[in-house]
Chains A and B, each alone.
Chain A
Amino acid sequence: MTAVATRPVQRRVSTKVTRGLTGVAVLLVLAESVSRFGIVPANILPPVSRVLSDTFGLLVDPEFLGDVGSTLTAWAVGLGMAIIVAVPLGLVLGSFRIAYEASSAVVEFMRPIPSVALIPLAILVFGQGTDMKIALVVYASLWPIFFNTVYGVRDVDPVAKETARTFRLSRIGILARVSLPYAAPLAATGVRISAAIALIVTISAELLAGSASGIGAYILRISSGGGDTSLVFAGTIVAGLIGVVVNLVLVAVERKMFAWKKEGVA
């Protein structure tokens, strides 16, 4: 039964891969020829082959890797701090009706402020370094994690809570053993959304603040130094690759941690 079923699935996967690769190849050839045949000047749109070789060059360039490390540090520390603050806060505030209503009002007024608008303020308060980036990342990634945790807690099956109460679990016990596992998958989705936002904010801050290090700082250095456009493209491609990897890792973690979710809760 399974053997019969997997074969078409395998074929489907392999056509998908072939088609995907074909798509990428066509795009690359197209972009290469656009600049090779001078439809767009090469100093504006450098040939893909050069951008790609520059990308590989960057991946082994210690100076650039330092920039990547700086960006990732601010990103990870900020995101971690946001998780530490937002998840417990969401658990508690989601559990009490009034607190939930009040906090959702606060969130509604705070959230529309685009985090990048706070960059000038953050520069004043924290300077141009890592602290400033971390502060902005915390602010920006707080909301999605908090919101999703609250939603998760609001959705907890009342029967599960009642059962826990029957077994004389304390309020904190119920929070930790009923609400948290219930809300965890949604909170994780919040973390994934925040991870992307945090990367956006980190790189924006580096671009605008003229930070000493970071991917944004690198891109700014090259492009404002009248440098090679191809390197600017390469830096951006690396930023995109980091985005892809982060997303893949988080999706995989979610799948692994919450595999039980598929059976129990719909």
Chain B
Amino acid sequence: MALTTAVPTASRSRVGSERQAARRQWWGRFALRWVVLAVLITLWQVATVAFPSPFFPQPARIFERAALLWFPGANGMLTPSMQSDVLPSLGRMLLGFSLSVVVAVALGTVIGLSRKVGDYIDPIIQFLRAVPPPALLPIFLVLFGTGDQMRVLLIAFGTAWPILLNTIEGVRSIEELKYETATVFRIGFVGRLTRIVLPGAAPKILAGVRTSLSLALILMVISEMVAASSGIGFSIVQAQRGFGFLDMWAGIVLLGIIGFLLNTVLTLIERRILGWQRSSGRETA
């Protein structure tokens, strides 16, 4: 972060070497990360061998089990658990999450632009966002039944608040000067929206999206643990009730991997969208 600031008149070679140093640092961090992971898994393995417990199987066996359950075999076909649990889970989550992003950004932009609208619905928003989303599960069950519709809507509802609030804040933080400039250049409403409001609010919006992503995963799992017949959450609960501790752990590990991958994808998207901004990262949420 500090590396990219203020090298106005430095010679080209110096910029080059700095870039090289940055790259070396990045590789160092990358290597360290995987070394740490390897050490961690080794420790876990040693601990489970040294202190055997039925609840904590060896990681080697967990990974073996996970590979068996979800990796396509030699024939390249999707495994049954992949088809019946993982894909439906991901589908529900992505559907609910995209619904939430679209609605929350649209609504947040409207509220952010108009103080009046904001004043009218602010207390309602403050209350609804404070309700712990899992507490809504029984209500959503009553309102929408036990099908996928309920799960998608619960995910959408629960994840909307961080995005909505951040969008409002981001839109409100845009300086008046930018709108005045737009007026001078006779840029219309749509132009303002796409060229000033949304880009200006983007860093905040994406920070909200990041917070919501982990919520989406939580809601996906919990909604599948109640009255479901498929999904990763369902398979974990089934495994636990049937004393299939390997399967249960395999599910937990899979969720960790999915969370990690989703976060990585989001970081890439963030970098692409916010590439024009110099110091965009480091949100604390």
- Give B235-261 as 1s and 0s: 1 = Cβ < 8 Å from A's Cβ atoms: 011011000010011011001111110
Interchain CB contact under 8 A, B284 and A189: yes
With most chain A CB atoms within 10 A of its CB, the pick from B123, B141, B214 is B123
Interchain CB contact under 8 A, A120 and B139: no
The complex places the Cα of A215 from the Cα of B233 at a distance, in Å, of 22
Interchain CB contact under 8 A, A19 and B260: no
Which among A87-95, A167-175, A239-247, A254-262 touches the partner chain? Answer: A239-247
The complex places the Cα of A102 from the Cα of B262 at a distance, in Å, of 21
Tell me if A113 is interfacial: C-beta within 8 Å of chain B.
yes
B155 to chain A: closest CB distance in Å? 12
Interchain CB contact under 8 A, A239 and B132: yes
Interchain CB contact under 8 A, B116 and A19: yes
When the two chains form the complex, which single residue of A113, A151, A223 contacts B256, counting CB atoms closer than 8 Å? A113
Tell me if A76 is interfacial: C-beta within 8 Å of chain B.
no
The complex places the Cα of A2 from the Cα of B29 at a distance, in Å, of 53
The complex places the Cα of A189 from the Cα of B284 at a distance, in Å, of 9
Tell me if B22 is interfacial: C-beta within 8 Å of chain A.
no
- With A16-B119, A24-B124, A200-B133 already in contact, the answer to whether A105 and B37 are too (CB < 8 A) is yes
Interchain CB contact under 8 A, A112 and B256: yes
Tell me if A208 is interfacial: C-beta within 8 Å of chain B.
yes
The complex places the Cα of A244 from the Cα of B138 at a distance, in Å, of 20
Interchain CB contact under 8 A, B214 and A239: no
Interchain CB contact under 8 A, A114 and B284: no
B219 to chain A: closest CB distance in Å? 9
- With A24-B123, A207-B134, A207-B226 already in contact, the answer to whether A112 and B32 are too (CB < 8 A) is no
B110 to chain A: closest CB distance in Å? 14
The interface on chain B, measured as residues whose beta carbon lies within 8 A of the other chain's beta carbons, has a size of 59
Which among A53-61, A62-70, A77-85, A229-237 touches the partner chain? Answer: A229-237
B265 to chain A: closest CB distance in Å? 12
Tell me if B137 is interfacial: C-beta within 8 Å of chain A.
yes
User: With a CB–CB cut-off of 8 A, which chain A residues contact B137?
Assistant: 207
- With A102-B32, A223-B142, A244-B127 already in contact, the answer to whether A115 and B218 are too (CB < 8 A) is yes
User: With a CB–CB cut-off of 8 A, which chain A residues contact B121?
Assistant: 23
User: With a CB–CB cut-off of 8 A, which chain A residues contact B222?
Assistant: 116, 204, 207-208
A129 to chain B: closest CB distance in Å? 17
When the two chains form the complex, which single residue of A26, A117, A196 contacts B236, counting CB atoms closer than 8 Å? A117
Tell me if B263 is interfacial: C-beta within 8 Å of chain A.
yes
User: With a CB–CB cut-off of 8 A, which chain A residues contact B126?
Assistant: 244
Tell me if A125 is interfacial: C-beta within 8 Å of chain B.
yes
Secondary structure dominating the interface of A:
helix
In the complex, what residue of chain A is closest to B233 when comparing beta carbons?
Answer: A117
Interchain CB contact under 8 A, A236 and B139: yes
When the two chains form the complex, which single residue of B252, B263, B282 contacts A117, counting CB atoms closer than 8 Å? B252
- With A19-B119, A102-B36, A123-B240 already in contact, the answer to whether A116 and B221 are too (CB < 8 A) is yes
In the complex, what residue of chain B is closest to A112 when comparing beta carbons?
Answer: B259
User: With a CB–CB cut-off of 8 A, which chain B residues contact A44?
Assistant: 142-143
The complex places the Cα of A133 from the Cα of B232 at a distance, in Å, of 22
User: With a CB–CB cut-off of 8 A, which chain B residues contact A159?
Assistant: none
Besides the known contacts A199-B132, A243-B132, 18 further A-B residue pairs in the complex with CB atoms under 8 A apart: A45-B143, A101-B33, A102-B32, A110-B256, A112-B214, A116-B222, A116-B225, A118-B252, A151-B284, A196-B132, A203-B132, A204-B222, A207-B135, A207-B222, A208-B226, A216-B134, A223-B141, A240-B135
The 10 A-B residue pairs with the shortest CB-CB distance in the complex, in nearest-first order: A112-B259, A243-B130, A240-B131, A120-B240, A19-B119, A23-B120, A113-B256, A223-B138, A105-B33, A204-B134
B positions within 8 Å CB-CB of A: 29, 32-33, 36-37, 40, 55, 116, 119-124, 126-128, 130-139, 141-143, 214, 217-218, 221-222, 225-226, 232-233, 236-237, 239-240, 245, 248-249, 251-252, 255-260, 262-263, 282, 284-285
